[in-house]
Amino acid sequence: MATDAVTEPSDDLTRLHYVGVALAAVTGVIHLVLGAGALAANPADPLGIAFVGAAAGFAAGIVGVLRGDERRRSRVVLLGIPFTVGQVVLYVALNWPHIFGIGGVADKLVQLALLAVLFALYRRDA
């Protein structure tokens, strides 16, 4: 039975790919928890919806890396860069000047590490 690169995990993933997946999972879970909490308090909360949407974006990126072929994976990495930069920029814009809450800073450190991995993967594969 032949395997399909879209449905089977790729066997050419590197340790750097898995570090990126782990970092995306951490920030995705943080966004999901924050979004679920906000939506539990107010189901129409736009920030809660945005947090859940961000979590879905990170989840889609994880699936794209784990289940994609090399070409799809490189697109996911390339799309992940502006998506993650957008998360950092939006956090600063929405929380200025009170940007140093422990949860937010921890999440942004994870995202900055994720950006470093994404840039390294992009440069390596370019």
Write out pLDDT tens, residues 89-107.
999 998 898 889 888 999 9
Both tokens assigned to 51: 């947090």
As a whole number, the mean pLDDT across the chain is 91
Q: How far apart are CA 102 and CA 41, in angstroms?
A: 22
| Whether residue 126 has pLDDT greater than 80 | no
Query: Element (H or E) spanning 68, and its range?
Result: none
Closest CA relative to residue 115, chosen from 73, 84, 87, 91:
84
* Residue listed under structure tokens 């947090």: 51
16-20, 21-25, 97-101: the lowest-pLDDT one = 97-101
pTM of the model: 0.88
Average pLDDT on 11-15 reads 88
Both tokens assigned to 49: 């919806």
Residue 9: pLDDT band with limits 50, 70, 90: low
Q: How far apart are CA 80 and CA 58, in angstroms?
A: 8
